[in-house]
Amino acid sequence: MTGRFRIHIRKVDHDEFTAYKWGTIDPDGSISTSDEGDRFGDLEEYVRQTLPETYRAEPLSSEIVQFWLERGRSYGSHAQRIKATAEHPLVDRHLAFPELDLVSVVHGLDRPASRCEAVHQLIQDSPFVARSDDSEDDRVASVVFSLPKQADIETAVTVTMEQVFKQLSPQKILDRGYVRRLPSRYLFRAVQYGRPVAEIGVSRESLSSADAQASANPSELADKWEIVTP
């Protein structure tokens, strides 16, 4: 399943010790090199050699986006690596490592059936010390998104969250190997006319249980499903 993510790749020029944009991977998988990126060589060849064979010649799926964010997580101690960020038209900033699980959230909000018009907040908070378990920690992912002005709130929230929960399959996300930790909880707030109208909270355990049941009914999954009175 593809989406509208665009990957930006930067690299350090060791002669100048300055980072420049090497180029971009567009949603359809096409690759373009920036004027400044010519100094680094053929980006298309680098992508072909780096990307796993199963993903080659494919549009950008959430799995491929997560691959590049993990691959380009930092320049490295000797500035020998690439740095990758992901751009999406719903979000007003670029995503970067370690926000790989948020890629799945945005991918769900951008599905054709979703009623999300824009994402106003997309953050991960760490109120407690992370657990030693590599698969999860105590981060909370907080998401604020807007609904169309004339949309029925309950219907719009339900169909949108259905799309998001389908993308937030913990086992599938972890099986890809790019995401090593998942938030313990996801909190969503829907706004309409600039005011909060619905709040939804779901735990990682609830999503894992839905995996086992092969179902994703938002009204059953959500620990908190509340229509907020403005």
pTM comes to: 0.86
- How far, in Å, CA of 117 to CA of 147, rounded? 6
Query: Same structural domain for residues 82 and 114?
Result: no
Please tell me the predicted confidence (pLDDT) of residue 134: 46
Are 170 and 105 in a shared domain? yes
Last residue of a domain, one of 87, 122, 148: 87
Domain contains 93: no
- Identify whether residues 131 and 44 lie together within a single domain: no
pLDDT for res 177: 84
Q: Specify the pLDDT at position 73.
A: 95
Summarize pLDDT for 175-208 with one digit per residue, the tens: 888 888 888 889 999 999 999 999 998 888 888 8
Q: Look up the domain containing 183 and give its range.
A: 100-227
According to DSSP H, which parts of the chain are helical? 43-50, 62-71, 100-109, 153-167, 170-175, 204-213, 218-221
- pLDDT at residue 171, as a whole number: 85
Evaluate whether residue 95 is within a structural domain: no
Total domain count for the chain? 2
Q: In terms of domains, do 127 and 207 share one?
A: yes
Give the residue ranges of the chain where pLDDT is below 50: 1, 127-136, 229-230
The pLDDT value recorded for residue 211 is: 64
Token pair recorded at residue 27: 């949603």
User: Could you tell me if 25 and 105 lie in one domain?
Assistant: no
Give me the pLDDT at residue 180, please.
80
pLDDT, position 95: 96
Residues 126 and 207 in one domain: yes
Q: In this structure, are 212 and 112 located in the same domain?
A: yes
In order, the DSSP letters of 160-215 are HHHHHHHH--HHHHHHTSS---B-SEEEEEEEETTEEEEEEEEEHHHHHHHHHHT-
pLDDT digits (tens, 9 = 90+) for 110-130: 999 999 999 999 998 754 444
Are β-strands 6-13 and 83-87 bridged in parallel, bridged antiparallel, or unpaired?
antiparallel
Shared-domain flag, residues 216 and 113: yes
Residues 6+ apart with CB under 8 A from 125: 139, 140, 141, 142
Question: Quick one: 78 and 165 in the same domain?
Answer: no
